[in-house]
Amino acid sequence: MTTRAAMRGFRSGRLVFRLMAVAVLVLVSSAETHARSATATTEPCPALKARVDLSLSPLLIISDGPIPAPKNMQQEPTPAQLKCMEALKAAGKRAIERKKIAEGVTRYLAAVNAVPSVAETTYQDLASMLDRSAYRQPALASYFKAWKAFEVNYNRPDAKLDSIAVLVLADIRDSIVRLGGQVPPPSSEVGRIVIGNSTRHLREQYFNAEPVVAPSKP
């Protein structure tokens, strides 16, 4: 009887152990599933992993690229958005350096969407990368986008004329002309100032000026 009781106790103990092991595995699996789900929903920069249609023309991708609305360009980005933008631009730069132009352009345009408030700078960075890599037409299209984004940003009643913006826009104007393009008609005060003055004159007037200066008529 003692031996049978001992066997029954052993079997019972082994069954309890198996049940506990199964319960632990279920809990671990549930925790891993929850962690994966949480990571997927809190992905800081999903555009980094977005698929790229390599069959598309880089020129077409840029031409269809967004120019943010004025209200979006006035929104202050969060630290996470800024980090995402920088990651996207870095990925775009690496892709262009490796001659993967469609991928590089797509990442840069995703950076524009990530932080619309600096769209003009992002487009200018893209244009400079393409320009240095001798992709003339895509570079020209990017300079056009940078010009338009600058005009949208400064074509507001409350916009303050920034001396840095004047010189940067003059550089964009010169790049467009150098690549054989025609500068768009200006729609903002900063655009009219740049169109009406040579780069040399603008540098003399604005290079040593305060960061924010009063507008001067061309």
Residue 156 confidence (pLDDT): 78
CATH fold group of domain 46-206: 1.25.40
What's the token pair of residue 164? 């840095």
Q: What is the pLDDT along the chain (218 residues), one digit of tens a residue?
A: 455 554 455 455 554 445 454 444 444 445 454 444 433 445 679 999 899 988 899 999 999 999 999 888 889 999 999 999 999 999 999 999 999 999 999 999 999 999 999 999 999 999 999 999 999 999 999 999 999 999 998 887 777 777 888 899 999 999 999 999 999 999 888 899 999 999 888 888 877 654 444 444 33
Q: What is the pTM of this model?
A: 0.74
SS3 66: coil
Start-end of H helices in the chain: 2-41, 58-63, 70-73, 79-97, 101-114, 119-132, 136-154, 163-178, 189-195, 199-206
The answer to whether 108 touches 125, Cβ cutoff 8 Å, is: yes
153 and 175 in contact (C-beta within 8 Å)?
no
Q: Nearest-CA neighbor of 191 among 211, 166, 164, 215? A: 166
CA distance 97 to 75: 32
